[in-house]
Chains A and B, each alone.
Chain A
Amino acid sequence: MTEYAFRAEGLVKRFGKTTALAGVDLAARPGSVLGVLGPNGAGKTTAVRILATLARPDGGTASVGGFDVVRQAARVRRLIGLTGQQSMVDDELSGRANLVLIGQLLDLRRTEAAARAGELLERFELTEAANRPVATYSGGMRRHLDLAACLVGRPRVVFLDEPSVGLDPGKREELWRMVRELTAEGTTVLLTTQYLEEADALADDIAVIDHGRVIAEGTPAELKRVVGGQAVSLRTTDPERSQAAAAVMERVAGRAPERTRQTLSVPVESDTAAWEMAAGLRERGISVTEFSLHLPGLDEVFFALTGTGRTSATPSAPVGTGTSPTNGTDPSPPVGPAPSDAGKETSA
C-alpha cells in the first residue's frame, strides 16, 4: 500500500491548446530522492503542482502517502511541503512571522509555532535576520526561508521545484547539504532541476522529462551509462598543439574528441581516464589552460537520449570558461565546476 511515498500514473494536463503533460509516470520509495530533470517548459512544475494538490490533472492519477491528490487532497496536504520556483513567503512580514503563521495554520498552538519557527530559523542560519521583513533578504536567505517554511509541519514528502535556481555555487552546495539532511531523517524528496549534475548529486532515481513525457528514467548510474557519463574537456595553451592533445584523448578514450572552437571534449568511462590523459599530456609536454572532468549538460543528455540534433549538440561547455559553445537554445549548463569531479586541472 505505502510502497510508494508518492506515485503519479499517466498524468495528463492541458492548458488550452498546450499539452503540458502528455502521460507522465513518476514514483518514489519512502525516504528516497527522485530527481526530475528537464528543460524549461518540459512540464516539471506542472507535475509538481498536481502532486502538491495545487492543480488537477486532466487525466491519470496521482497519490501521496496512498492518498489520492484529487479526492483526498486534504489528507495529502497534511503530508507534504512545497517550495516552488517562485518565492512562497510573504515579503512584508518578517521571516519569523512567516514561519509562525504557517505553524498556526498547521494547528500548532502559538507557543509551539514560535518554538518550531525558532528551531527552523536556527537550522537555516536565519536567526540574525529573523525579525527583519523578508523584503530585505538576499536571494539565498529567501531560499532558506522558503525551505524552512515548507518544513514547519515536518512533512513526509517534500517537493522542491528547481530549488537551486539563482543560487551561486557555494549556496547551492549548502542547499544540497540540507536536502541530504532531510533524506537522512527519512523524508521523501521530489526535486526538479535542469542540471544532471544536481540530480546526480542528490537523487536516488532520475526521471528525464521533455515535452510532457518521461523520456528516460533510472538511477544516476544507469542514466550516465546511457548518456555517456562524464566527459573530459580541455583547451591547450598553444592552439598548435591541439592536434597532439586530441591524439592523446583519442588514445585513452577510444574515440576522437569533438572540437568546439578551441575546446576538445570526449566522453570517458571512468575517472582514471582523465588521469591517463593528464599523464599523456605531460609526457608530450602539452600544457593546457583548462582541463575538466564533468557530467554532460542538459543538451547532451537530451542528445544522447533522443538522438536528435547531432550537429548542434556539441559536448558541453568546459565549465567555468565563460564561453558557451553549445547551441544556445537550451538552458545553459551549470555555473561553476562540477563539485565532485572538476578542478582536476593540470599543467603538464
Chain B
Amino acid sequence: MSAPTVDTAGTTAPRRPAPLLRHSLVLARRSLAKSLRNPGSLVNGVMTPALFMVLFVYLFGGSVSGSTDAYLQYLFPGVLVMGAGIAGMLSSGLTINIDMKKGVYDRFRSLPIGRSAPLLGSVLADLVRYLITVLILFAIGFLMGFRVGTDPASAVAASALAIGFGFALSWVMVFLGVLLRDESAVMAITFVSILPLLLGTSMAAPVDTLPGWLRAWAGINPVTHTMDAARALLTGTPAGDSVTLTLVWSAALVAVFAPLSVWAFNRER
C-alpha cells in the first residue's frame, strides 16, 4: 500500500483452483448460517409433511388399510418424497427472490466471483436442508412405527431419490424466483402448485383407486413416480419403471431449469 502503482492486484491472495465451486460453497455456508439463525422455513418444510402423516395415518389408516400400522407402511415413502418436494419448493426460489432485491447481491456482483455463484450457493445449501428434512421425517416415522422392509442400502437409495427429486423441483422454483420480481407472485405460484403436485399423487392411496380425472393427472405427475420408487425401495413393493422415470424426470428438470435460472439470474437488472 506504499505507492499506488505498486498496489496493483487488488486482492492480495493468489488465485486458487475451482473458483466457482469454492465461491458457491462459501455462499452456501452463508445461506445455512442464516437458516440456523432463522429456522422458520426449515421447520415449516418438516412440519407440513409430518402433520399430513399423523393426520392421514390416525384418521384414515384404519379404514383405508385396516390398521394404522399397515397404512403407515404405505404412506411413509410418499410423505418422505413430499417432505423433500416441499423443502425444494419453499426454499431456494423464494429466498433468492427476496435476497436478490437486497443490496448485498449488488456487492456480490461487484466481486470477482462467478456471476452465478450466489445462485449455486443457495441451491447447494438447500441440499443440506433436504437431508435434515429427510432425517427428521425418518425419525418421526420410526417413532410412529414405520420400519424399512428392505435393507439399509435401499433406504439410503430411496432417500437419495427423494432428495434428488426435491433438488430438481427446486430449480423450477429458482427459475421463477429469479424471473419474477414480485415475491408474492412467487409465493402464490408455490402454494397453488404444491397441492396438485404433491397431493395429486399415489401418496395417500394407490393411483388405481382414484377417480378418473385424478388418476390421469397422478399418472403423469412425476412426483407419483418418485413416491412409487421410494415405496418400492423402502417396503419392497414392485418398482416397475418408477426408479428410471424418477431419474429421467429429475435430470430433465435440472437440465432445463438450471441453465434457464442461471440465464435469468445473470441478466442485468
Interface residues of A (CB under 8 A from B): 2, 30-31, 52-56, 65, 74, 77-82, 84, 86-93, 97, 101-102, 104-109, 112, 133, 149-150, 153-156, 185-188
> 25 A-B pairs, CB-CB below 8 angstroms?
A30-B4, A53-B110, A54-B109, A77-B112, A78-B9, A82-B106, A82-B107, A88-B103, A88-B104, A89-B103, A90-B104, A93-B33, A93-B34, A97-B33, A102-B107, A106-B11, A106-B112, A107-B13, A107-B19, A109-B13, A112-B13, A149-B107, A153-B11, A156-B8, A188-B4
Contacts of B2 in A (CB 8 A): 186
Contacts of B26 in A (CB 8 A): 101, 104-105
Is B23 among interface residues, defined by CB-CB distance under 8 A?
Answer: yes
Contacts of A92 in B (CB 8 A): 34, 37-38
Roughly how many angstroms separate A54 CA and B269 CA in the complex, as a whole number? 9
Total number of B residues with any Cβ neighbor in A under 8 Å: 37
Contacts of B38 in A (CB 8 A): 92
Contacts of A55 in B (CB 8 A): 268
Roughly how many angstroms separate A77 CA and B10 CA in the complex, as a whole number? 9
Q: Given A74, A101, A188, which contacts B30 in the complex, CB threshold below 8 Å?
A: A101
Instruction: Tell me whether chain A's interface is mostly helix, strand or loop, or mixed.
Output: loop
Roughly how many angstroms separate A93 CA and B34 CA in the complex, as a whole number? 7
Roughly how many angstroms separate A30 CA and B7 CA in the complex, as a whole number? 11
Contact present for B106 and A84 (CB under 8 Å): yes
Contact present for B4 and A105 (CB under 8 Å): no
Q: Given A53, A82, A90, A108, which contacts B11 in the complex, CB threshold below 8 Å?
A: A108
Residue of A nearest to B35 (CB): A92
Q: Given A79, A84, A93, A109, which contacts B10 in the complex, CB threshold below 8 Å?
A: A79
Roughly how many angstroms separate A56 CA and B109 CA in the complex, as a whole number? 13
Q: Given B7, B23, B103, which contacts A186 in the complex, CB threshold below 8 Å?
A: B7
Q: Which of B10, B16, B106 counts the most A-chain CB atoms under 10 A from its CB? A: B10
- A70 CB, nearest partner CB in chain B, Å: 11
Is B14 among interface residues, defined by CB-CB distance under 8 A?
Answer: yes
Is B192 among interface residues, defined by CB-CB distance under 8 A?
Answer: no
- A31 CB, nearest partner CB in chain B, Å: 5
Contacts of B113 in A (CB 8 A): 105
Contact present for A187 and B4 (CB under 8 Å): yes
Residue of A nearest to B109 (CB): A54
Residue of A nearest to B118 (CB): A105
Contact present for A54 and B10 (CB under 8 Å): no
Q: How many A-B residue pairs have CB under 8 A?
A: 108
Roughly how many angstroms separate A105 CA and B108 CA in the complex, as a whole number? 9
Q: Which of B33, B104, B108 counts the most A-chain CB atoms under 10 A from its CB? A: B104
Q: Which of B11, B12, B23, B117 counts the most A-chain CB atoms under 10 A from its CB? A: B11
Contact present for A77 and B110 (CB under 8 Å): yes
B1-41 contacts to A, CB under 8 A, are 1-5, 7-16, 19, 23, 26-27, 30, 33-34, 37-38
Is B111 among interface residues, defined by CB-CB distance under 8 A?
Answer: yes
Roughly how many angstroms separate A156 CA and B37 CA in the complex, as a whole number? 35
Residue of A nearest to B19 (CB): A107
Other A-B pairs beyond A108-B11, A186-B4, 15, CB < 8 Å: A53-B110, A54-B110, A77-B111, A86-B106, A90-B102, A90-B104, A92-B37, A101-B26, A102-B107, A105-B111, A105-B113, A108-B12, A112-B13, A154-B11, A186-B7
Contact present for A84 and B112 (CB under 8 Å): no
Roughly how many angstroms separate A309 CA and B14 CA in the complex, as a whole number? 56
Known contacts A30-B5, A133-B37, A88 near B107 by CB under 8 Å: yes
Known contacts A92-B38, A112-B13, A154-B12, A78 near B112 by CB under 8 Å: yes
Contact present for A186 and B8 (CB under 8 Å): no
Q: Nearest 8 A-B pairs (CB), nearest first?
A: A186-B4, A88-B103, A86-B103, A77-B112, A78-B10, A88-B107, A153-B11, A107-B13
Contacts of A90 in B (CB 8 A): 30, 34, 102, 104
Residue of B nearest to A85 (CB): B103
Contacts of A54 in B (CB 8 A): 106, 109-110
B68-112 contacts to A, CB under 8 A, are 102-104, 106-112
Q: Which of A2, A87, A92, A107 counts the most B-chain CB atoms under 10 A from its CB? A: A107
- A16 CB, nearest partner CB in chain B, Å: 13
Residue of B nearest to A52 (CB): B110
Contacts of A101 in B (CB 8 A): 26-27, 30
